[in-house]
A and B are shown apart, each in its own frame.
Chain A
Amino acid sequence: MDSTIAQKTWELENNILAVEAPDPSSDFIFYYDEVAQAMSLKAKPWANDPHFFKRVKISALALLKMVIHARSGGTIEVMGLMIGKTDGDAIIVMDAFALPVEGTETRVNAQADAYEYMVDYSQTNKLCLTYENGFCWFIGWYHSHPGYGCWLSGIDVSTQMLNQQFQEPFLAVVIDPTRTVSSGKVDIGAFRTYPEGYKPTDDPISEYQTIPLNKIEDFGVHCKQYYALNISYFKSSLDCHLLDLLWNKYWVNTLSSSPLLGNGDYVAGQLSDLAEKLEQAENHLTHSRIGPLGTSRKKEESHLGKITRDSSKITVEQAHGLMSQVTELFQIQRNCTP
């Protein structure tokens, strides 16, 4: 009895909508309706409203490909393109593929051979009849920010603004593979930029995420120039079925995963970053003791408050990793005393 009440409370808190098992009729999202797409291209409803697209639906396949590609890059940023279509105010991402481009620390730009690759890829797909009647429509690009969160840097914002001028409709997706692995849930964000000079009427409050000190300036300067879209995922009925069966095979991997060992240097980096932020906050505090009371105090509080949140986040992740280690230990050891 208690457990059902607890579950209902939890579901209410987290806005969990009951997901019915997709029946074959919902697979029709995969059908490419050429006529409807051509009509919406002509109408261009996004040209008048910068806030037109509100939701993104990503297919299971696209998500898997993007996360794997992002993780395979390690600490180097990687990028790729996404294929899909639009549906009212939602952008649907059906598939994604990687581009042979490696970014340096701060910039990921598609150079000439990446453009060539894109053209090659779309041409070969045109031959393949299953790809939407030979049509390969690029709906956006994705890139990774390994270890420093999902947001658009200055270069990303200018690239996206350019894309939105010439290749509408276009979407920018950012993935953080390091945070994904350390926190155990996929860290992904979808963004669209506002056109130059547009001021959003209301400030949408985005989810707080901790950003390392060396990037925080870049984040702060540009964070008002784009907005985040809601991401939901979809999968076909066959995918559903296969994924359920897959669980029977990879539950072993869940038990044997050791996130603490894999992400050691990332955690160390986070802690040193936290230490620097603490020093900064300390300077603010000592200065303001002489200064006026009231308004300036609020800023330091939120500084320290933010730092507290960051530190608790790191701790939570560590604790989780340790929990899985301990459960493993209990299974494989007869006598262990933690």
Chain B
Amino acid sequence: MSVSDWLLFLLVRSLSLASLPGSIPFSSLQVQPQPDAKMCDQTFLAITFGPCDSCGLNKPLMNIYLKNEPINYCSLCVELMACQGLATGETIHTLKAESESLKTKLEEERAKLHDVELHQVAEKVEALGQFVMKTRRTLKGHGNKVLCMDWCRDKRRIVSSSQDGKVIVWDAYTTNKEHAVTMPCTWVMACAYAPSGCAVACGGLDNKCSVYPLSLDKNENLSAKKKSVAMHTNYLSSCSFTNSDMQILTSSGDGTCALWDVESGQLLQSFHGHSADVLSLNLAPSETGNTFVSGGCDKKANVWDMRSGQNVQSFETHESDINSVKYYPSGDAFATGSDDATCRLYDLRADREVAIYSKESIIFGASSVDFSLSGRLLFAGYNDYTINVWDVLKGTRVAILFGHENRVSTVRVSPDGTAFCSGSWDNTLRSHSQVGCSSGKWWRWRLNGS
């Protein structure tokens, strides 16, 4: 080879290695300041530009987390680091082959235990009688779409948030508004009531979760006492207090969930594993321990261990975004509502989907699901303005509720189970409860006759 050829070869070689990040269109690069240690970010999703921590060159960086410590490496150094840990003989191909074989093995294991369907086992359970639900209260006052709501543990108060940035605390029995806060952003997609009833948390397009302590003094300006707790790099889709007022779990459009300490704003644990926006999360009922489930736009529902940050189980049978996840009251299963117009029940101990709640006539996505207290009923709000009530065990629809004039965005059952409240894009919230059910008589018969 001539000298010029050799030089060209070297040039090409260096260009090819340096062009590893060149496949990303430059329009997607953002110049950002050094990420704050308190921020929670998706691995490989947000790309910043700056000096690499290991090689020192100015390159597009990938923000990754190692044992919860953020490091900024350029993509070449990430590859080198990954290669270092490989055992001898492992290449990209062996790893791919192993992942494929593990996936098929997982499917086989799951299929082996699939001996019967839930509705077959439930055939011996008595069918529910005719259901009549009535709208008891209509809460009017929001100026725009209601996006989220939560009940207080005193079974009486409700906090709701809407697109116009207002967060309102209502008394559900009297329909009075007790507090109102105006957030500095629109589309407040998440709100939650603290277990003590003394604070509410909310967030949305501002990428933050803010906690407002509620005071008894009605004239007090709540915005003055606001505390910013969580910081994500994309919109906040859902937030929930853990069993105390001191910790908040949030999920975000940046694909991560995170656990924060309210007092200090410190990030306690981050959960990486979704490959698209996380839309919803739900904590396990307290008896069963420190896990939570999250559902996202990557059609996956993941179960996480809060202490280690590990993804313990993953379910991917939906055909579209999962909008809502909710644990069964016993904590052994959870239900999901999705844009593919179905709701599904997944059992954690059997590690598979055990029921699908769908009908050919339902073509609009389910935006929100919740269980009744015993877990027999599943309430699901759909984008076709209705709420369908499903019999969880038999898989049949028990009732349809009409009344909203736009999409139902959120459905929640009260803590004592006497009513459930639905929020909708028609700017109202409605609370519904039972009028009278012939199955009530059936239960009395069972008590007498058994």
Is the A/B pair a real complex?
no
> Residues of B with Cβ closer than 8 Å to A?
none
